[in-house]
Structure 1
Amino acid sequence: MIKIRKYEDSDASELWKLFYHTVRNVNRRDYSQEQVEAWAPDNFDRKIWKNKLNAISPFIAEIEGVIVGYADLQESGLIDHFFCHHDYQGKGVARCLMEHV
């Protein structure tokens, strides 16, 4: 069962891993290697990442305590981040997140 909850500061590191590996494993099909590396670089300032997550306040999707996706919805209607772990795509995670936001 997929559980949706609010973001907590302690999620930042796990969300970076999810973001990085999703971009590198899924989104690379639609972007050049240069674009992928710019979007999800090997060396990224974790403080900037935490600040970004605090600014967008994403919702977290979990299955059995494992973070499998996250998404946000801004007051303007913009969805800034919407990512599902590459191993959990096609399992209803994105649908649950979209229904929640």
Structure 2
Amino acid sequence: MKLRTYRAGDAARLEEIFRAAILQLGSRDYTAEQVAVWSGARVTAERLHEMYSDGRATFVAVDETDTAIAFSDLEADGHVDMLYCHPDHAGRGVASALLAAIESAARQAGMTRLHTEASETARPVFARAGYATVLRRPLEIDGVALHNWKMEKLL
């Protein structure tokens, strides 16, 4: 596994990773109804490409064939918007490596704080990376209640 920056040709694969991670990993912590609305969220390859072409730092973990297996991004205000790992590669330190790259980029940019809204599934990964839980956030997608965790890390 190695890390590299986002490329325009990655978007479709990142959409696949997003959905697979929610459907297979998210189902450990959320109900079938919650997983269905979350995975059906308006995240498309086109939307991901638009987001990741806006200047934010976006890192992609790839395998030996340069196929994306996980991704994460850092917005200019220190917000870590997404962290998703394909289930076939989960539990191998890939997400932790992405968070380390995010932190390094944040420090280089002079940021003093990182923050995110972590799913129940991602919360332990962020906690291991030194993020503190601030509060549990209720949210709703298409009328279905679920939650995530506001977390932050001071640099």
The 3-state SS of whatever aligns with 2:75 is coil
Structure 2: where are the runs of 5+ without partners?
Answer: 103-155
Q: Which residue of 2 aligns with 1:32?
A: 31
Q: Which residue of 2 aligns with 1:50?
A: 49
Between the aligned partners of 2:61 and 2:44, the Cα distance in structure 1 is: 24
Q: Which residue of 2 aligns with 1:41?
A: 40
Is 1:13–2:6 an aligned residue pair? no
Between the aligned partners of 2:16 and 2:35, the Cα distance in structure 1 is: 14
Higher mean alpha-carbon deviation, 68-77 vs 11-20, is at 68-77
Between the aligned partners of 2:59 and 2:42, the Cα distance in structure 1 is: 25
Between the aligned partners of 1:52 and 1:37, the Cα distance in structure 2 is: 23
Q: How is 1:18-97 mapped onto 2 (pairs within 5 angstroms)? A: 18-41=17-40, 45-55=44-54, 56-64=56-64, 65-97=66-98
Indicate the structure (1 or 2) with the bigger Cα radius of gyration. Answer: 2
Residue type of the alignment partner of 1:11: D
Between the aligned partners of 1:75 and 1:3, the Cα distance in structure 2 is: 24
CA deviation after TM superposition for structure 1 residue 99, in Å: 1.1
Between the aligned partners of 1:88 and 1:6, the Cα distance in structure 2 is: 19
Q: Which structure has greater strand proportion?
A: 2
Q: Which structure has greater helix proportion?
A: 1
Equivalent pairs: percent with the same residue? 29
The 3-state SS of whatever aligns with 2:69 is strand
Between the aligned partners of 1:43 and 1:74, the Cα distance in structure 2 is: 19
Residues 1:67 and 1:35: Cα distance change in structure 2 (over 3 Å): same
Residues 1:42 and 1:79: Cα distance change in structure 2 (over 3 Å): closer
CA deviation after TM superposition for structure 1 residue 72, in Å: 0.8
Q: Deviations over 1:24-76 (max 9, x none)?
A: 00012212222222221299654334323434552100120221110111122
The 3-state SS of whatever aligns with 2:22 is helix
Structure 1: where are the runs of 5+ without partners?
Answer: none
The alignment of Structure 1 onto Structure 2 pairs a total of residues equal to 100
